[in-house]
Amino acid sequence: MSHSLFVNRRDFVKTLLASCSAISFATPAWSLTPSSLIKKTIPKTGEQIPSLGMGSWITFNVGPDTQLRLDRTKVLKAFFDAGGGLVDSSPMYGSSEEVIGHCLEQLAFPKGLFSATKVWTPLKSRGISQMENSMKLWGIKRFDLLQIHNLVDWKTHLATLKDMKEKGLVRYIGITTSHGRRHGEFAQIMKTQDIDFVQFTYNIDDREAENQLLPIAQDKGLAVIINRPFQRGSLIDRFAAHPLPEWASQIGCKTWPQFLLKFIISHPAVTCAIPATSQVSHMQENMAAALGPLPDENMRARMITYCNSL
Amino acid sequence: METYLDYSLQDLLLFSSKVYFRSLILYNAKLWPAQILALFAGLSLLWVCYKQPRYASYLIGTLLALAWTISGTLFHLSHFQEINWLAIAYGWMFIVQGFLILIWCISQPEKFHPLNGGPKEPWNKWFLFGNLVILLAVCAFPFITLLDGQPLQGAQLFALFPAPTILATLGVAYCLAKLPLMLLVIPLIYALIDFITTNMLNSIMSYIYLMIMGILVLYVIIRIKSNRKNNTQ
């Protein structure tokens, strides 16, 4: 994680002036240049990926509804237009994988796609067939990342995933959890197993991961995906009535979602946050959080203090 | 198993309210003009319960069994499962309920006859209440979608959708006075599940499910009281 991304106030003015032309005064929509998107490094390989990805829980589960599929295609297009890469889903999310596959096909499978899904079923044979089915639904030949969803039958699936990785059938493997579930067991797996990615919940209101999971990830060189950055939208609802602090502009934040996302991706151990949305304007707004300066440690502390005071 | 049990109810809500309401509209569009048949079936059920023609018990049992099986198969298994994998379990619950109704109706037809031969105190008032509930389930229920600010294309009809089917079944229960209480277990479980779901979706339907559960519990209380009274006489 590049510390050069952190700024002090003195540097801020320069950076702001440079980034303002790209963000603030352009069109009503967020003006994004993919090349300027903040990227983070996957520790195991040194590969860089954009620090903001896209989750698909609820938002992409629209079934066969053609109008909503068209809407989601536009959302995904906005994501890739803004330089996004990692798209995360799961067989648990209803029709999300199928809908993502449909959208990707409409967009002719954008080059920057970093495909990530999960296995969520007991038993080896069912796990394998579920992952094969996911590939069909996405319309791709290989996933970049396969994760064990909420540690379901993790010992069985981890052996399968390691085997698949050795054979080149997947590039990265990992485990996931959310909302503080089973952190003890999760941490143990992080310490003892040869995995590349971990995914869990972390946001300005739920910072439990700072105690154990994030330090272990840094220590073990694991890439970290952060799910539910807005706590299922409740953080945005909670803060919406309050103004952003004036100093939020120092880190290029114009809205609460950007404020919340910047907080997450500025943690040195975090590789990527995956907010989910069903609206193009929200996608553009979110992606703008991966532009410009990131808060340093002092600024992060200030952000926490301010949010706690609301 | 432990990994599945630590999900919260909110984790299992996989779709937004917009997607949910649009799915109801799509379902109706897919089935049109089956709604006319469904309305006819609902009105027939009401007529049979009120008029009590010959073979009323078999007609009631068959209509209810069909309604449960059709809404389980068409709504849950063929449609709703596209956005909610739990609908597969719900669909089978409905099919089992339809099967149980049919078996009970064939093996004990006397329990499916309205008021076991004619209105008697204190059941005559509940008989009328039961008919009113069926009428609401068949004719008024489709308009409830308007209270959610949704168009009538998403109207929920008896035999095609779960909620009006459950409500009509309860109406029948009040008319019969002797419906086996076992047949109310699946309706209660499903009403509770959908109450939670619609409540999370901020839908007015959650209040309807509360009302349905209230009507169901009231029926059980009346039946228990009635049984005690009969036992002491």
Smallest Cα distance from B79 to chain A, Å: 9
**What confidence category does residue B126 fall into, taking pLDDT thresholds of 50, 70 and 90?**
confident
Rounded percentage of chain B residues whose pLDDT exceeds 70:
93
Residue span of the structural domain in which B23 resides: 17-232
Q: Measured between CA atoms, how close is A283 to chain B, in angstroms?
A: 17
Q: Nearest residue of B to residue A228 by CA position?
A: B11
What are the phi and psi torsion angles at A119 (to 5°)?
-110, 135
pLDDT for residue B11: 79
Please check the confidence at residue B5 and state whether its pLDDT lies above 90. Answer: no
Note every long-range contact of B148-154, with CB atoms under 8 Å and residues 24 or more positions apart, other chains counting: B148/B21, B148/B203, B148/B204, B148/B205, B150/B21, B150/B24, B150/B25, B151/B25, B153/B25, B153/B28, B153/B29, B154/B21, B154/B22, B154/B24, B154/B25, B154/B28
pLDDT-derived band at B177 (thresholds 50, 70, 90) equals confident
Would you say residue B11 lies in a domain? Answer: no
| Averaged pLDDT for residues B203-231 | 90
The pLDDT value recorded for residue B2 is: 57
User: How many structural domains does chain B have?
Assistant: 1
Q: Do A94 and B13 touch (CB under 8 A)?
A: no
In a domain, B69, yes or no: yes
Using a CB-CB cut-off of 8 Å, the residues of chain A touching B22 are: 65, 67-68
Q: Which residues of A touch B8 (CB under 8 A)?
A: 179
Q: CB–CB of B19 and A61 under 8 A? A: yes
At CB < 8 Å, which residues of chain A contact B?
57-59, 61-65, 67-68, 92-95, 150-153, 178-179, 181-182, 232, 278
CATH architecture assignment, domain A6-18+36-309: Alpha-Beta Barrel (3.20)
Identity of residue B37: L
Q: Report the distance separating Cα B177 and Cα B130, nearest Å.
A: 10
Q: What's the gap in Å between the CA of B83 and the closest CA on chain A? A: 5
pLDDT computed for residue B111 by the predictor: 84
CB contact under 8 A, A63 and B85: no
Report strand pairing: A272-273 vs A223-227.
parallel
Considering only CB atoms, which chain A residues are within 8 Å of B6? Answer: 150, 181-182
CA–CA separation, B198 and A71 (whole Å): 24
Inter-chain touch A59–B16, beta carbons under 8 Å: yes
pLDDT of residue B140 exceeding 50: yes
Residue B2 belongs to a domain = no
Predicted confidence at residue A134, as pLDDT, reads 98
Token pair 């009281």: residue: B225
Q: Where are the domains of chain A?
A: 6-18+36-309
Contact residues for A24 (Cβ-Cβ < 8 A; gap 6+): A254
Contact residues on chain A for B3, CB-CB shorter than 8 A: 150-153, 182
Give phi and psi for B91, each to the nearest 5.
Answer: -60, -45
User: Looking at residue A36, what is its pLDDT?
Assistant: 82
Q: Which residue in A69, A130, A150, A157 has the most chain B C-beta atoms within 10 A of its own C-beta, making it the best mutation to test that interface?
A: A150
Provide the pLDDT for residue B121. 58
Across the interface, whether the CB atoms of B14 and A179 are under 8 A apart is answered: no
Q: What are the pLDDT digits (tens) for B11-39? A: 788 999 999 999 999 999 999 999 999 99
| Cross-chain Cβ contact A62/B83 below 8 Å | yes
Q: Which of B1, B3, B26, B79 to mutate to test the interface with A (most CBs of A within 10 A)?
A: B3
Of residues B58 and B120, the one with the higher pLDDT is B58
Task: Give per-residue pLDDT as tens, B68-125.
Answer: 999 999 999 999 999 999 999 999 999 999 999 999 999 998 888 876 555 555 567 8
Per residue of chain A (310 residues), give pLDDT as tens. Answer: 333 334 444 344 344 444 444 433 334 444 555 568 999 999 999 999 999 999 999 999 999 999 999 999 999 999 999 999 999 999 999 999 999 999 999 999 999 999 999 999 999 999 999 999 999 999 999 999 999 999 999 999 999 999 999 999 999 999 999 877 788 999 999 999 999 999 999 999 999 999 999 999 999 999 999 999 998 889 999 999 999 999 999 999 999 999 999 999 999 999 999 999 999 999 999 999 999 999 999 999 999 999 999 8
Q: Is the ipTM beyond the 0.85 threshold?
A: yes
In a domain, B5, yes or no: no
